[in-house]
A and B are shown apart, each in its own frame.
Chain A
Amino acid sequence: MAGRCEDIPGVEWVKGTGEFIRVVPELCDGCARCVRVCLGDCYEISAKKALVRSLERCMKCAACWYVCPRDAIVFSWPRGGTGFRTDWG
C-alpha cells in the first residue's frame, strides 16, 4: 500500500513498514538533536524524552541515528523493503 504527502512531492510512501526506528527511553536525555536534523518531522519531545511521532515521512537517511550522542536510537531497515520509492533520485 502506497501513499503521497502533499508537501513532499515525487515520493511514494509505503505503509506497513513497522517500527524500524525506535528510541530507548532509558538512554535518551531529551537533547532533541534528532528533532533538529529530521527533515521528515518524525520526532517530538515529550516528557523530556524523544518520541517517534510518525515514520510515515521517513526517508531512512539515518541522520537521527548518527547525531544521537547516547546511542538511544535503534535504526534498522523497514519491513517489506524501502518504505518509499521515487523516480527522481
Chain B
Amino acid sequence: MDGYDVIVVGAGFGSPVAARKCAEAGLRTLMLERSARVGEKVISGLTIPFYGFLFGPDFIRDGNLPIERPVDGIINYIIKDIDSGDMEIDDSLRVPKPLSPVIAFGYNAYCRPFCQWEAEKALEAGAELRTSTTVTDLLREGGRVTGVLTDAGEEIGARLVIDAEGSQGLLAVKAGVREKYPPEVISLADVYDYRMDKEDVDRILGYSLRFCWGWDEQKIAPPLGHGNGLMVWPYRESVHFCQDQCLRMDGGEVPNLRGCFQEYHGNITSKLPWWRDDEAPRAEMRAHMWEGFEIFVGLDARLREMPSCTDGMILIGDAAGLEGTELCDGVPAAWFSAEIAAEVAIEALRAGDVSRDFLRRYEDRIRDHPIIQWSISATNRYNLRFAQEHHDLAELRKYVHDGWGLGSFAHVSTPLLKMILRTLQKDPNIITSWIRMFFRYHYNWLHERYDYSEGKEPPARGDRGRSKLSQILFRKTLEAMDLSARMLSPFIRITARALEPLSVLANPTMKVLLPVVEMLFKGFARLEPATEPLSRKLVEFIRNADPEIFDQPRRKG
C-alpha cells in the first residue's frame, strides 16, 4: 500500500518526540491530530519533573521551551481541622538555596504552547502534521496493522503505526489489543485556572507546589481514602488548581462527583486560610476543565502486563498506561516511551519486520526503564486510603512524607542513580549539558524567551557587561569540564557500567541514611539567611548574562 513509513496517532506530549526521531532517521512520518490546533484539548495541572528533562529527548533538554514557572519543591498541608485552620506542614522536599530556584525540581507549563512547541520541532525534522483529523479505526491485513481510517473516510497506509491517542485508548480497545480500564484505576481530574498578577504569584506561592491532604470529613479534597488529593501549581501569571477522584471507591460505590467537586472547591476557596486570605482576593477564575487519566494501571499486575504492541503497531505514553501514580506525571514517561518506540520502529523498518515478535523489544525496554517502572508503581498515593481507613495521623504523615517529602529519597534514589549511570555510559559529557539546561531554562523563564516566540527584550548591554568576568568564568569552567569528560570518557563509561549493578543499593542505603539527610536539609533551611543573597546573585547573574553562554553546542564525548 502506498503511504507513510510511520503514522503517529495524536499530537500531545509524546507523539512529536516519536515523530521527530522517525523523521530524523529518514522515515516518511505523519502525525494525525484531532484538534484544530495542537494541544488545545490537552488538560492537566502540569509540573514536568526534572528527570523528564535530564533523561528525555536531546532536543527538549537542549531547546528553549515555553516554561510557565520553575518549581523548587512541594509544600504539603496535612489538614486536621479546616474550620479552625489546624494543619501541619511538610515542606521537606525542596532544592536548597543557593541552588534554588535555578536548579529546579521541575517546570510548570501550559499544555497548548508546550505541545505546539514540540510539534514544531517534529515538523522541522521533516515530519508532517494533519490537524482536525480523527483516526476512527485501524486498517488491518491478515491481523497486521497497515494504516488508519480517518473520520473523513480516508484510508492512510503506513508500515508502522505509533498510537499516542491518550488514556482512553479507544483504538487499542477497538483493535482488541488492550481492554478498557476498570474504573478503580482511573482518576477524574477537576482542573481550574485562575488568573493572578505575577507579583502576587511570586509573593504568595513563589516556586512551590502546594498539595493538600486531609480526612474525608474535612471535605477539602475528594475522598482521600481512595488515593486522591488537591494540588495547586503556580504559573507565570496564573495558578492552576486540581482536585481528582478515583472513579471507584472501595466497596464499588461510585461517588456523585459533580456535587463532591463543587462542595470541596467551595470549601477550599472559602475555608483554607492561605487560599481564603491570600489567593481569593487576587485570583480570578479563567477556566474550568476536566479529564480522566489512568493513574493506577501500573499497580495492577494484570493491566500492567497488557500488550503495548501488536503486529504493525506500538502504543506509547498514556495509551500504554504509563501515568505516574504519585506526581500524576505522565509527560516524562510519554517522552521516554516515545523515544524507545521510535528506536524500535526504526530498527523494525530497517529489518523489514514489524511483527509483534520483533516489536516486543519495545515492551522489554519499557520494563527495563528504571524511571518509568518506578513512576508507574510507586504506592504512596494509593496507600493514603489505608491512613484514611485507620484515621491514623502518623500513617498519613508517613505516606505524605514518603511520597511528596524527603522520604521519597528512599524510593527514587535507585532509579535515578541507575538512569544517571546509564546516561553517562552513552554520553560522558552529559553533566555540562544538564548544567547549561538549568541555567538556560532559568534565563528563558526570566525573559519569557522560547523558540517561535519573540519574547521580552534582553537587558541592556551595560548590565550584561557588569557580569562579564563571571560569564567568562562560567564558560571556561564548563569548557574545562567538557574537556576533562572527553579525556576521561573511556574511564567514565567503564566506571558507570561497573557501578550500574550497585545502584540497587541506593534505596536501602538512603533508607538508613535518611535521618542524616533530613538533618542536612534542615541545616540548609536554617542557613537561608546566608544562602538567600547568594541565590539572588545567581539569578541576577543569569538575568544579565549573554544567553549564548548557556546555549553552547555540546561536543559528544
Contact, CB under 8 Å: B168 / A62: yes
Q: Which residues of B have CB within 8 Å of A80?
A: 132, 134, 151
Given contacts A10-B288, A66-B186, A76-B136, 11 further A-B contacts (CB under 8 A): A38-B257, A61-B292, A63-B257, A67-B247, A77-B136, A81-B134, A85-B40, A86-B41, A88-B289, A89-B42, A89-B44
Contact, CB under 8 Å: A85 / B36: yes
Q: Which residues of A have CB within 8 Å of B39?
A: 89
The answer to whether the Cβ of A82 comes within 8 Å of any Cβ in the partner chain is yes
Q: Whole-angstrom distance between the alpha carbons of A73 and B186 in the complex?
A: 17
Q: Which residues of A have CB within 8 Å of B287?
A: 9-11, 86-88
Contact, CB under 8 Å: A81 / B35: yes
Closest 4 CB pairs of A and B: A10-B287, A88-B287, A89-B43, A88-B193
The answer to whether the Cβ of B315 comes within 8 Å of any Cβ in the partner chain is no
Q: Could you tell me the distance in whole angstroms from the C-beta of A50 to the nearest C-beta in chain B?
A: 13
**Contact A63/B168 with A10-B287, A33-B254, A88-B286 known, Cβ cut-off 8 Å:** no
* Minimal Cβ-Cβ distance residue in B for A2: B36
Contact, CB under 8 Å: A10 / B193: yes
Q: Whole-angstrom distance between the alpha carbons of A33 and B132 in the complex?
A: 32
Q: Which residues of B have CB within 8 Å of A38?
A: 257-258
Residues 186-224 of B at the A interface (beta carbon under 8 Å) = 186, 188, 190-191, 193
The answer to whether the Cβ of A45 comes within 8 Å of any Cβ in the partner chain is no
Q: A: which residues have CB within 8 A of B?
A: 8-11, 33, 36-39, 41, 59-63, 65-67, 75-82, 84-89
Q: Whole-angstrom distance between the alpha carbons of A39 and B238 in the complex?
A: 23
Q: Could you tell me the distance in whole angstroms from the C-beta of A29 to the nearest C-beta in chain B?
A: 14
Q: Whole-angstrom distance between the alpha carbons of A9 and B286 in the complex?
A: 6
Contact, CB under 8 Å: B288 / A9: yes
Q: Which residues of A have CB within 8 Å of B191?
A: 89
Q: List 27 A-B contacts (CB under 8 A).
A: A9-B287, A9-B288, A10-B288, A36-B254, A36-B255, A36-B258, A39-B188, A59-B291, A62-B168, A65-B168, A66-B182, A67-B183, A75-B170, A77-B34, A77-B134, A78-B134, A79-B151, A81-B34, A85-B40, A86-B40, A86-B112, A86-B287, A88-B238, A88-B287, A88-B289, A89-B110, A89-B111
* Minimal Cβ-Cβ distance residue in B for A89: B43
Contact, CB under 8 Å: A85 / B41: yes
**Contact A39/B257 with A10-B288, A59-B291, A77-B34 known, Cβ cut-off 8 Å:** yes
Contact, CB under 8 Å: A36 / B257: yes
Q: Which of A41, A77, A85, A88 is within 8 Å of B37, CB to CB?
A: A85
The answer to whether the Cβ of B374 comes within 8 Å of any Cβ in the partner chain is no
* Minimal Cβ-Cβ distance residue in A for B37: A85
**Contact A67/B254 with A87-B110, A88-B193 known, Cβ cut-off 8 Å:** yes
Interface centre among A9, A37, A80 (most CB of B within 10 A): A37
Q: Whole-angstrom distance between the alpha carbons of A67 and B188 in the complex?
A: 11
Q: Which residues of A have CB within 8 Å of B35?
A: 81-82, 85
Q: Which residues of B have CB within 8 Å of A82?
A: 34-36, 40-41
Contact, CB under 8 Å: B261 / A36: no
The answer to whether the Cβ of B285 comes within 8 Å of any Cβ in the partner chain is yes
Contact, CB under 8 Å: B151 / A77: yes
Q: Which residues of B have CB within 8 Å of A87?
A: 40, 110, 112, 287
Q: Count of A-B contacts with CB under 8 A? A: 122
Q: Could you tell me the distance in whole angstroms from the C-beta of A35 to the nearest C-beta in chain B?
A: 8
Interface centre among A33, A60, A89 (most CB of B within 10 A): A89
The answer to whether the Cβ of B361 comes within 8 Å of any Cβ in the partner chain is no
The answer to whether the Cβ of B77 comes within 8 Å of any Cβ in the partner chain is no
Q: Whole-angstrom distance between the alpha carbons of A66 and B188 in the complex?
A: 11
Q: Which residues of A have CB within 8 Å of B111?
A: 89
* Minimal Cβ-Cβ distance residue in A for B115: A89
Q: Which of B168, B238, B255, B289 is within 8 Å of A11, CB to CB?
A: B289
Q: Whole-angstrom distance between the alpha carbons of A63 and B291 in the complex?
A: 8
Q: Which residues of A have CB within 8 Å of B183?
A: 66-67
Q: Could you tell me the distance in whole angstroms from the C-beta of A30 to the nearest C-beta in chain B?
A: 14
Residues 28-62 of B at the A interface (beta carbon under 8 Å) = 34-37, 39-44
The answer to whether the Cβ of B248 comes within 8 Å of any Cβ in the partner chain is yes
Q: Could you tell me the distance in whole angstroms from the C-beta of A17 to the nearest C-beta in chain B?
A: 10
Q: Which of A37, A65, A75, A86 is within 8 Å of B43, CB to CB?
A: A86
The answer to whether the Cβ of B256 comes within 8 Å of any Cβ in the partner chain is yes
Q: Whole-angstrom distance between the alpha carbons of A63 and B288 in the complex?
A: 17
Q: Whole-angstrom distance between the alpha carbons of A29 and B275 in the complex?
A: 43
Q: Whole-angstrom distance between the alpha carbons of A77 and B41 in the complex?
A: 12
Contact, CB under 8 Å: B289 / A10: yes
Q: Could you tell me the distance in whole angstroms from the C-beta of A28 to the nearest C-beta in chain B?
A: 15
